[in-house]
Structure formats: C-alpha cells, structure tokens
Amino acid sequence: MSERATESVLRSPGIPHLLTVGAFCFAGLALLLPVSPAWAVAGGADEFGAGLVTAVLMTATVLAQLCVRTTLRTIGWPRTLALGALLLGLPALLQSLSDHLLAILLTTALRGAGFGIVTVCGATAAAALAPRGRQGAAIGLYGLAVALPQVALTPAAPRLMGTFALPAIVACGVLPVLALPWTRSLGRAVEARTDAPPAEDGRIEHPDPTTTVLRRILLPLTVLLLVTAAGGAVLTFAPQFTSTPTLAATGLLALTATAALARWGCGELADRIAPRPVTALLAATACAGLALIALAVRADDGAILALLTGLLLLGAAY
C-alpha cells in the first residue's frame, strides 16, 4: 500500500479506534487459539477433544455472525462492540479455573460468539469508515492490525506453554476487554457515517440487505470458510507437527507473518483489480500449501523445509 493511501485511510474519523479495538480483540484470540486445546489436553482430553475446542469456537463464531445485524438494530453499534469485546475476553478468566473439557468448550463457545460479533463489526466498520474509493485499502490496513497480534502471540504460544503455567496463559486471553475504552467512540463514528435514520428510542435502524448480500458473496464466502477452517486446524495442531517448541514457533511465525503481509497487500490490490482471479489463485495456493504440510507431517524430521514452505503458502492464502 502506498504511503499516501495509508495516510488518507488513517486520517479518516474512527479508523484509529477501529485498529485499536481490532488489535486488542484479536490478541486474545491469537493467544488462546493454540493454548485452549493444549489446556484441554492437560486436563485429559485426547486429540479429538483438542480439535473439538477449535470446532466449537468456529461454530459459535458463525452462528453469532448471523445474529449481528439484529443485535446492531436492537442495541446499536457502541453496545454491540462492547458486547463482542466482553464475550471474547471475560470467559478466558473462567476457562483458566478448570481444565475440564466441558468447561473449556462452554467458555470457548462464549468466546466464539464474541469473536463473531467482532469480525462482522470490524469488517463492516472498515468499509463504512474508509474514504471514498479506498475501501480495499482500509480493509487491508485493518487486516494488518488484526494480524500483527497473531504474528506476535500465536508463534510465541508453544514457548510460553513451556515456560509458564497454563492457567496463567489462558487468563491472559482477557486482553479483548482492554478494547472497551475505544468501542463507544468507534460505534458512534460508524453510526455517524451510516445513512440509516435513528429509531424513536435513539438507536440506529439499519436496512435489511441480507438476502442480496448473501447472494452476491456466496462464492467468496465458501472459499473463505474452507481456507480459514484449514488455517484454523493448522494453527491448532501446529505445536504437534514438530518435535521442538522452537520449530513449532518458527512454523507458526511463517504462517502468521505471511498472512499479515498478504492481508495488507491484497487490500491495495482490491481497489485496483477484480477480486475473482486473485481468489482463484489464492485458493490454489492454499491447496498446495496444505498438501505440502500433509506430506511433511507424514514424513520424518527431514521434511522441515516442505513444512515451512507449506505454511508460507497457506499463510499467503489465509
């Protein structure tokens, strides 16, 4: 992204608050994505139980995303953003109190609901607050902001788990709560940029474009679901792909750092070229990356190069 484009996006009202809220919320997600399954394993769960933690997170995320429009219409943007941050952060404190699989799944479901709210509101706010003609650049910058915590925290998780007590690490998943001071101003900035008239009680009434939007985004939504599901699985089980925490951290860094740079760069491309050819290319890239990862996991330790290459390719697509 050019320096001028970045400056124009950052000067847009509400964008700095959006980046701050996104960074704090995704920090809590990035930290616990590999840690919660490990916490379940420490409590006696098998690999299926560890995978179930991520599956519950993603399922709750999708279900919550379907309800965000109604929530926004009912309680408005500031309260919806605050609700998402609270649901994503506070259950981490409860999760740290018990390593029983059921307790972890219940608190993970709450966190998934918060993540669903944050993802929909974040992407919507980025597009709504962007300067005219710079929606792709704004979403790319937002993608970079939410990816940086993943670059820092997700690769560090294996090392942290080998150094500190797991309950303490799980409790640090409360980080999204720190976004609360910015949710009110961000919500008001988004409401100020919408054309919807206020309801009688002062809340914002949003139009119902759901059917039209879903029809238009069905194909990219399917691709997004498949790639993010694969990426989530890799992030969950990456510490088990290798024999040492250092190598696991290196692999996670390769995936998350590549994803951060790709998100930023693709935002600029989205304002200039049609997205469909890029989507097809990245879907093929994800398949190639997953194939290399699968071959590396089945092979001996000599396949480290194939594993890292696969993670780089998947990160670019992710």
Which two three-digit tokens encode residue 51? 């995978």
pLDDT in tens, 21-51: 999 999 999 899 889 999 999 999 988 898 8
Tens digits of per-residue pLDDT, 216-255?
667 777 777 788 778 877 877 777 777 677 777 788 888 8
Distance CA 290, CA 76 (A): 40
Q: Model confidence at 263, in pLDDT bands (50, 70, 90)?
A: confident
For 301-310, the pLDDT digits (tens) are 558 888 889 9
The per-residue pLDDT for 166 is 93
Alpha helices by DSSP H, listed for the chain, are: 3-10, 15-42, 47-65, 68-95, 101-129, 135-153, 157-163, 166-171, 180-193, 210-241, 245-270, 275-298, 304-317
Please name the fold of domain 3-317. Answer: Growth Hormone; Chain: A; (1.20.1250)
